[in-house]
Chain A
Amino acid sequence: MSTDREAAKLERDMAVPEVDLRNEAKGIATWAQTDGENLHPAALEILGEARRLSEKLEDKTVTSIVIGKNAEKHSKTLIEHGANKVYVISDERLLEYQTLPYVRAVVDALRVIKPEIMIFTASAIGRDLAPRCAARLKVGLSADCTQLDIGMYVNRKKQQRFMHAFKMMRPSFGESKLATIIGPWNYPQSATVRPGVFAPLKSDSSRKGEVVTFDPKWVEEDWLQSVISVEKGGSRIELEKADIIISGGKDLGREGFDMLKELVESIRANGQRSELGASRAAINAGLVSQDHQVGQTGKTVRPEIYVAIGISGAVQHIMGMRDSKKVIAINIDPKAKIFDVADYGIVDDYKNVVPELINQIKSGFTFELDK
C-alpha cells in the first residue's frame, strides 16, 4: 500500500469516534503453570511476552497467578522474570491439577485483579482451564496464539475506534494464513498461547514485585474429583528443549526412522541436545508416537537446527518449525515445498544421505551452535 493511501486510511480511521470499554480493567495478568513442583517453562515465556506487550498500555502492571501446593516458592522466579505482582494460591490439595478448583482460583483472582488482558499457556492443562474460565467470566478466548500485539482497531460498521485492542494472532488451519482475533468489548481480553513460541526475559534479581497471598472462596462441590494415579514420564520427548531436531516424513518407513534414531543418538553422543521429530503423516502411519509430532496439531519448535528428511512440507508442518534458526531439507523431490523454507538442502534419497550424515558425525563432526 502506498504511503498516501495509508495516510488516507489512517485519516478515515481517526475520524471514527474513539470508544474505551475497559472501565476499571487495566494491566495484564498471566497464569504461571506448575507441574506441582516446578514452573512450566511457558510460565516465564508468557510473562516475558506480557512484559513486552505492557509497554503499549497506559498501566504497565503485569500480574502472575500461580496455583499449587507451596506455590509461594515460585514468587521470586516470577518477579525476577518480569512480574510486578504475584497472586499466590497455595493449597495442599493442589499438588495435581484439578479443573474446578483451578477455575475457581483463577476466576476469583481475576475478579480482584481486573486486568484488561489475560494470557494462559496453551498446554494440555491450560487448554482445559482457560476455556472454562472464559465461559465463567463471559469473555471471549482466542486459542493457541503465536503472535500478540496491542493497537488500534477500527470497526466502521459499529463506528467504534479502540486504541488499545488486544490483537491475538493464530494460524488458520489448512492454509498459510494467520488470523487476527479481537474482542475489545469484554474484559479481560483472553488468549492461550503456544508453549515454546515466546522468549522469557533474562532473570534479573534486581526486579522488585509484590506478593499477594490470595484465598479463593473454595466451594465443596469443586472438589468432587480425585486423582487416583499419576503416570509420569509417559513422554520423555522434549522437542521444545532440543537444539537439533531431526524430523522424518511418512515415506521413510520404519527402516528410515531407525536411521533417524541412530542419527539423533550420534548427535547426542557429542553432548548436544537432539530429538526425533516427525510429520503428522508419519504419526498417522504409526511410525512414531504422537509426542514427536511437529506442526500445527503437534508441537511448535524453534531449535538452532531443524533437519527435515523426507518431509514434503505441508503448511501445517511448516507452521510448527518455520522459526527454527537454520533449516536443512533432504528430499528426493526437488519440487518439495520444504525447500522453500530451508536454508540448505540436498536433493537425494535419504538412504544415500542419512548414513553419510551419521558417518561424518560419528567421525567427529559437531554442529556449532550460537548459544
Chain B
Amino acid sequence: MSELKDLSIVVLLKQVPVPKAMKTKADGMMDRSGKSMINPFCNAALEEALKLREKVGGNITVVSMGPPNAKQSLIEAMRKGADKCILVSDRLLAGSDTWATALSLSSAIKKYLPDTQIVFAGLQTIDGDTAHVGPQVAEHLGFQQVTYVDKIEVDGEKLKVRRFVEGGWETFLTPIPVMLSVHKSANTPRGPSLSAALRSSDDKISVVSVEDIGLTKEEVGVAGSPTIVSRVLNVVIERPPVVLFNEGSAKENVSQLLQAINAKEEAN
C-alpha cells in the first residue's frame, strides 16, 4: 500500500478581534477595525497541518477571507511555517453569511489550488461560533470531512483521525481528499521560528478579488447570502435584585442563605 507523501495542504484561517475588543457596529456586523489575532481554533488547525507536513512533506497554503489588515495574521502564519497565503479581500464580501463565505473560500481553492488534498479548518471561530464554514467548504469541494478533530495520524494512504462526539470519541479512517476541522484542545500551537520568519514575506500573500475567483457580486456579500441579521437586541436579564447574606459569620450567612433557598415562594 502506498503511503501519503508530499501533500498539498490548505489551512483556512480567519483573523478575529481579540475577545476584549469585540463589538458590533450599528448595523449588527462585527467591528473588525480594532486589535486582532488568529482565531484560536484556526491556530490549532495550522499546528496540525505543520505537524503533518513534518511527517510526510508537502506544502501549506493558508487561505483567508477578510479585510486587508488580515495580512498581519497571514504573516504570522508564515512565521510559524506556512509556505504561502491567499487572501480573498473585497468590499463586495461584506455581510457574507457562512454560505457565501464558504462559496468564496472554496472558489479560491478550486481556482488557485486545484490539487489540494487536505483542507484544515478551525472547528469554529470565536467571533461567529458557527462551525459551518469547514463542512460547507468540504461540500463545495466534494471532499470527505471530519469535524471536532483532536488527533491525526497517517495510516498508509489514509488518515486515522479521532473526533469528539457526545460522551466520547470516534476514530475514523478517512481517504483523501478530506477537510478536517480541528478542535482547539488538539494541541498547543507553536510560536514563530527564526527560519520560517526569514522565509516569510509580503510577496507570498496573493490578495484576490471576487472577480479573480470567478464569482459575481450577486453571489457574495449580503446579495449572495441566504440569511441576514434582521435585528440585534440587547439582552435584558429579568431577575429581581439579589438578596445578600453578609451580616453574620460565615456559618450564619450560609445557614440563612440555605434557608432562603428552601423557603417556598409566597403564592401571589
Contact = CB atoms under 8 A, between A and B. Distances in A.
B185 to A, nearest CB: 6
Contact of A343 (B166, B174, B239): B239
A344 B166 contact: no
Nearest to B133: A131
A180 B232 CA distance: 6
B169 interface: yes
A271 interface: no
A97 B227 contact: no
Interface stretch (A24-32, A132-140, A208-216, A251-259): A132-140
B127 interface: yes
A260 B168 CA distance: 24
Interface residues of B, number: 73
A319 B167 CA distance: 23
Interface string B143-165: 01111100000000000100111
B227 A141 contact: yes
A319 B165 CA distance: 23
Given A186-B226, A360-B258, A353 B253 contact: yes
Nearest to B22: A174
B10 interface: no
Interface in A284-328: 290, 296-297, 305, 318-319, 322, 326-328
B262 A224 contact: no
A352 B261 contact: no
B28 A344 contact: no
B254 interface: yes
A297 B226 CA distance: 25
Nearest to A347: B246
Given A296-B129, A360-B258, A134 B242 contact: no
A367 B175 contact: no
A102 B236 CA distance: 39
A342 B242 contact: yes
A206 to B, nearest CB: 32
Given A124-B164, A132-B136, A367-B262, A348 B227 contact: no
Contacts of A180: 229-233
Interface stretch (B67-75, B87-95, B97-105, B202-210): B97-105
A97 B170 contact: yes
Given A141-B227, A326-B261, A346-B254, A131 B98 contact: yes
Contacts of B255: 360
B57 interface: no
A328 B145 contact: no
Contacts of B17: 174
B129 A235 contact: no
Given A178-B233, A344-B257, A345-B242, 4 more contacts: A128-B147, A177-B24, A177-B233, A235-B168
The 4 closest A-B pairs by CB, nearest first: A174-B22, A140-B226, A140-B227, A183-B227
Interface of A: 35, 40, 96-97, 99-100, 103, 123-125, 127-128, 130-132, 134-136, 138-144, 153, 167-168, 171-183, 185-186, 224-236, 290, 296-297, 305, 318-319, 322, 326-329, 339-348, 352-353, 356-357, 359-360, 365, 367-368
30 contacts: A40-B166, A99-B146, A131-B132, A132-B135, A132-B138, A135-B99, A135-B139, A138-B99, A141-B227, A143-B129, A171-B235, A173-B127, A173-B128, A174-B22, A175-B22, A175-B23, A177-B232, A179-B28, A180-B231, A182-B230, A224-B175, A225-B173, A231-B170, A232-B167, A233-B168, A327-B239, A329-B242, A340-B237, A341-B237, A344-B243
Interface of B: 17, 19, 22-24, 28, 97-99, 102, 126-136, 138-140, 144-148, 160, 163-175, 185, 225-235, 237, 239-240, 242-246, 250-251, 253-255, 257-258, 260-262
